[in-house]
Structure 1
């Protein structure tokens, strides 16, 4: 059974920049991954399989329940059947999420022509919620829940 989610080698530098620098928007690379998956879904980007895995995969145990709910919602959107959130389909569900995160990262890299600046990521976040103030790290779960109508 799959117990981690991979990142693509081609985007590892962007993951590191967005999730590991001292002054950062996201609390962790896990949050970057969730954001990227949501960007792909929001922008209507198809899943993008990972060709070469890069860096340390993110352990599923790091994901909070809110994150796991987002993973379930994305899988339900893609699969169209509640069966995808059963234990038997866990690997498939995580692969769906992984590939949406990869598609979102591809979108970010293409849109900003490489590693985005903080202001560029904030502009992308503003497309979800323009009234956002940036005094604290972004709570991805709140952002998603506000975006679902």
Structure 2
């Protein structure tokens, strides 16, 4: 269906991706890329690749989780803004490039947080997730048990 479209992994973040897999318990590199792209988009961090890429991931593997293709498409649609044709099947590679750059930017941001906070990788990830789930405009308390009820580590 997706021909042979591949999603590149930024080689400069290979060590961080291994840490995220081991310490933060991400099951696969695709999960790290999906998380990093969401973080990159939320932070407005889109970073082109500056060096070679690590082993690519087949697009059909990346979009294995039900939400993944939607995430890639939503990021691209928001980036393209006034270009609805970005969703055309013939422009999948362009959507993938946008996704890759946001994933790269997200990994840069995560690495910066790890470097500046001097906290374990898993703690930084948990803080990012907690922050995303917390509405900054409300001062409602959320029980830790509620936040972690759906998380498998």
Give the TM bin, normalised by the shorter chain: 0.7 to 0.9
Counterpart check, 1:137 vs 2:137: no
Per the alignment, residue 112 of structure 2 pairs with 110
Counterpart check, 1:67 vs 2:82: no
In 1, are the aligned partners of 2:110 and 2:124 still within 8 Å (CA)? no
Per the alignment, residue 147 of structure 1 pairs with none
Secondary structure of 1:128's counterpart equals helix
Per the alignment, residue 79 of structure 2 pairs with 78
| CA RMSD, Structure 1 to Structure 2 (Å) | 2.2
Q: TM-score, normalized by length of structure 1?
A: 0.80
Query: For the residues of structure 1 that align with 2:102 and 2:33, how far apart are their CA atoms?
Result: 9
Structure 2 gaps of 5+ residues are 135-141
Check 1:137–1:58 CA distance in 2 against 1; reply closer, same or farther (3 A cut).
farther
Check 1:35–1:89 CA distance in 2 against 1; reply closer, same or farther (3 A cut).
same
Aligned residue pairs, count? 135
TM-superposed CA distance for 1:119, in Å, is 1.4
